[in-house]
Structure 1
């Protein structure tokens, strides 16, 4: 089974970690930004990552990919069957994919992707605004809902934790994290989930790549 993309993308990382937590061996093939080849184009007609191939089955979108893996490999269960737990898991997946990523993309895109990857001008005001105004309310919310167990649903690792922690991993590569003084529960939660072997090996490679490409570009550096 092949996942197309780059694990600097939280969506791609979500798929790879989901597979790892199930004990699956997923092959990562670089794609996006003009890369990927015919299989990637067939799986993702709009060239969005991640895309996925399993034999003759091709699909794109991280939520579609993890739904396929869960259905084909139901054990260990990472999307709960109990109706309320299942609904909460899907809610957290959506929270991560939309609201957290809206803030994360503005920060990571303008501080790393545009200046380091695309060699384009970046909008430092947009990145600063997202870090100042968009992230804190999300951290406030998580601070109030993270259970004592350290897992969002059913006191065990599920898609909820994998999805929510994935943007934290990307932002952490450029030094953006929850403040342990203001959001101690959220900071501890993220650190614990990202320390799991399924995340840690990927994060080490992502951090090395970001560093090798020059790291983030802030407004102060640009000035």
Structure 2
């Protein structure tokens, strides 16, 4: 199983954590910001990460990939079978990939990644996102966060927990943390999920590689 794309991407991270939580061996092949190889473009025709290979099966888009992996490797399911719980898992995945990503991406790019790559950045865009886009995202997370040691759906880790916590990692690389005074439940919940080895190993590697 091969995942193409850098683990500093929340979408790549989602797939890598998902595979790790299922106990699956997964090779990560990072890609840069520039033009992609013909091999990569054959898998992901619009050049988006991650791209994925499992033997001769090839797929792109993080949500499509994790749904495939959960179905193909049914042990330790991470997407609920119950229709209502499955619907909620799909919603949390969408919330993370769209609303959360849009809130944290300007902060991550302009404060963490672009300066390290010596590329143009705009602190005003980061400040605007922190002031306007992030608070509603964290307020919603506070409203749904479970008690410490619990999960968003049921009594075990699921795609919902993995997806929601991935964009928060990028925020942390830019120095943005979940304020425990304002959002105590969200802070405790995310700290517990991010302490899991599946996340912690990738975070440590990202920090060592990029100096976050």
Q: TM-score range by the shorter chain?
A: over 0.9
The offset of 1:209, in angstroms, is: 2.2
How many residue pairs get aligned? The number is: 211
Match of 1:116 in 2: 116
- Report the CA distance between 1:36 and its aligned residue: 5.4
Q: Does structure 2 retain, via aligned residues, the 8 Å contact 1:52–1:58?
A: yes
Q: Quick one: distance in 1 between partners of 2:176 and 2:207?
A: 13
Residue ranges of structure 1 left out of the alignment (5+ in a row) = 216-223
CA deviation after TM superposition for structure 1 residue 69, in Å: 0.2
Offset at residue 142 of structure 1 (A): 1.1
SS in structure 2 at match of 1:104: helix
How far apart in 1 are the matches of 2:177 and 2:10? 15
**1:144 aligned to 2:154?**
no
Runs ≥4 residues deviating over 6 A? none
Name the SS of the counterpart of 2:156 in structure 1. Answer: coil
Query: Deviation at 1:35?
Result: 6.4
SS of equivalent to 2:58? strand
- Report if aligned partners of 2:112, 2:173 keep a CA contact under 8 Å in 1: no
Paired residue secondary structure (1:69): helix
TM-score computed with the length of structure 1 as normaliser: 0.90
Over aligned residues, Cα RMSD in angstroms? 1.3
What is the TM-score normalised by the length of structure 2? 0.95
Give the 3-state SS of the residue equivalent to 2:6 in structure 1.
coil
Residue segments in structure 2 that go unaligned for 5+ positions in a row: none
Per-residue Cα deviation, 1:129-175 (whole angstroms, up to 9, x for no partner): 11111111111111111122531011210000000011111221222
Distance 2:81 2:39 in 1: 33
